[in-house]
Chain A
Amino acid sequence: MEGKSAKGWLYLLPAILFLGVFLVYPLIDVFIYSFEEGYNSASQTFFGTGIYNYSYILHDPYFLQAVKNTFILVIVTVPLSTLIALGISYCLSSIKPLRELFQTVFFLPYVTNTLAVGLVFMILFRKTPYTDGLVNLLLGLFGVSPIDFIDGPYWAKMFVLCFYTIWVVLPFKILILTSALASVSEEYYNAAKIDGTRPFRIFRKITLPMISPMLFYLIITGFIGAFKAYSDAVALFGTNLNAAEMNTIVGYVYDMLYGDSGGYPSYASAAAIVLFAIVLTITCINLLISKKHVHYVG
Chain B
Amino acid sequence: MKLVLSNVTKVFPGRGRGSQGTVAVDGLDFEIPDGELVALLGPSGCGKSTTLNLISGLQKPTEGRIFFGDDDVTDLPPENRGVGLVFQNYALYPHLTVMDNIIFPLGNLRGKDRMSKPEMHKKAHEIAKLVQIDELMERKPGELSGGQQQRVAIARALVKMPRVLLLDEPLSNLDARLRLQTREEIKRIQRETGITTVFVTHDQDEAMSISDRIIVMKAGVVQQQGGPQEVYDSPANLFVANFLGTPPINVFSARVQGGSLYIGDDAVMNASGAPDGEVWAAVRPEGFVLDENGPLVCNFGGLEVMGRDISVISSHAGAVNPTIRSIISAENRVDTSSKTVRFSLKPNKVFIFDKNTEERILFGA
Partner of A196, one of B108, B142, B156: B108
The answer to whether A297 and B79 touch across the interface, beta carbons within 8 angstroms, is: no
Assembled-state Cα–Cα distance A201/B104 (Å):
10
The yes or no answer to B85 lying at the interface (CB within 8 A) is yes
The yes or no answer to B67 lying at the interface (CB within 8 A) is no
Which A residues from 178 to 195 make CB contacts under 8 A with B?
185, 187-188, 190-195
User: Whole-angstrom distance from the CB of A193 to the nearest CB of chain B?
Assistant: 5
The answer to whether B83 and A194 touch across the interface, beta carbons within 8 angstroms, is: yes
Centre residue among B79, B89, B96 by max chain A CB count within 10 A: B79
Least CB separation from A193: chain B residue: B78
Interface string of B209-247 (1 = CB under 8 A from A): 000000000000000000000000000000000000000
Given known pairs A187-B87, A188-B91, A201-B108, the reply for A193 and B58 (CB within 8 Å) is yes
Partner of A201, one of B58, B84, B91, B107: B107
The yes or no answer to A206 lying at the interface (CB within 8 A) is yes
The answer to whether B91 and A190 touch across the interface, beta carbons within 8 angstroms, is: yes
Interface string of A184-219 (1 = CB under 8 A from B): 010110111111111001000110011010000000
The yes or no answer to A7 lying at the interface (CB within 8 A) is no
Contacts of A8 in B (CB 8 A): none
Centre residue among A194, A198, A201 by max chain B CB count within 10 A: A194
User: Whole-angstrom distance from the CB of B319 to the nearest CB of chain A?
Assistant: 43
The yes or no answer to B30 lying at the interface (CB within 8 A) is no
Least CB separation from B89: chain A residue: A187
Least CB separation from A293: chain B residue: B95
The answer to whether A195 and B95 touch across the interface, beta carbons within 8 angstroms, is: no
Which B residues from 110 to 144 make CB contacts under 8 A with A?
142
A interface size (C-beta, 8 A): 21
The answer to whether A295 and B95 touch across the interface, beta carbons within 8 angstroms, is: yes
Assembled-state Cα–Cα distance A196/B79 (Å):
4
Which B residues from 136 to 157 make CB contacts under 8 A with A?
142, 156
Contacts of A209 in B (CB 8 A): 93, 95-96
Contacts of A196 in B (CB 8 A): 77-80, 105, 108
Given known pairs A190-B58, A190-B87, A297-B142, the reply for A195 and B104 (CB within 8 Å) is yes
The yes or no answer to B14 lying at the interface (CB within 8 A) is no
The yes or no answer to B197 lying at the interface (CB within 8 A) is no
Contacts of B79 in A (CB 8 A): 193-197
The answer to whether B78 and A205 touch across the interface, beta carbons within 8 angstroms, is: no
The answer to whether B142 and A197 touch across the interface, beta carbons within 8 angstroms, is: no
Q: How many A-B residue pairs have CB under 8 A?
A: 62
Partner of A191, one of B91, B95, B160: B91
The answer to whether A195 and B91 touch across the interface, beta carbons within 8 angstroms, is: no
Contacts of B89 in A (CB 8 A): 185, 187
If over half of A's interface residues share one DSSP class (helix, strand or loop), that class is named, otherwise mixed; here it is helix
Least CB separation from A192: chain B residue: B104
Assembled-state Cα–Cα distance A205/B87 (Å):
19
Assembled-state Cα–Cα distance A195/B96 (Å):
16
Contacts of A190 in B (CB 8 A): 58, 85, 87, 91
The answer to whether B94 and A297 touch across the interface, beta carbons within 8 angstroms, is: yes
Partner of A195, one of B87, B108, B142: B108
Centre residue among A187, A190, A195, A201 by max chain B CB count within 10 A: A195
Assembled-state Cα–Cα distance A212/B94 (Å):
12
User: Whole-angstrom distance from the CB of A24 to the nearest CB of chain B?
Assistant: 37
Assembled-state Cα–Cα distance A196/B160 (Å):
11
The answer to whether A191 and B85 touch across the interface, beta carbons within 8 angstroms, is: yes
Contacts of A191 in B (CB 8 A): 85, 87, 91, 93, 156
The yes or no answer to B201 lying at the interface (CB within 8 A) is no
The answer to whether A195 and B160 touch across the interface, beta carbons within 8 angstroms, is: yes
The yes or no answer to A298 lying at the interface (CB within 8 A) is yes
The yes or no answer to B204 lying at the interface (CB within 8 A) is no
Least CB separation from A210: chain B residue: B95
Least CB separation from B153: chain A residue: A191
The answer to whether A195 and B94 touch across the interface, beta carbons within 8 angstroms, is: no
Contacts of A201 in B (CB 8 A): 107-108
The answer to whether B108 and A194 touch across the interface, beta carbons within 8 angstroms, is: no
Contacts of A210 in B (CB 8 A): 94-95
Given known pairs A187-B89, A201-B107, A297-B95, the reply for A194 and B56 (CB within 8 Å) is yes
The answer to whether B108 and A198 touch across the interface, beta carbons within 8 angstroms, is: yes
Assembled-state Cα–Cα distance A153/B85 (Å):
61
Which B residues from 304 to 332 make CB contacts under 8 A with A?
none
The answer to whether B108 and A197 touch across the interface, beta carbons within 8 angstroms, is: yes
Assembled-state Cα–Cα distance A205/B142 (Å):
18
Contacts of A205 in B (CB 8 A): 93, 96, 104
Assembled-state Cα–Cα distance A297/B85 (Å):
23
- Sorted from nearest, which 8 A-B pairs have the closest CB atoms? A196-B79, A295-B95, A195-B105, A187-B91, A209-B95, A191-B91, A297-B94, A194-B78
**A contact set with B: CB distance below 8 Å:** 185, 187-188, 190-198, 201, 205-206, 209-210, 212, 295, 297-298
Q: Please, could you name 10 A-B residue pairs with CB atoms under 8 Å apart, sorted by A?
A: A187-B87, A191-B93, A194-B78, A194-B79, A195-B105, A196-B105, A198-B108, A201-B108, A209-B96, A295-B95
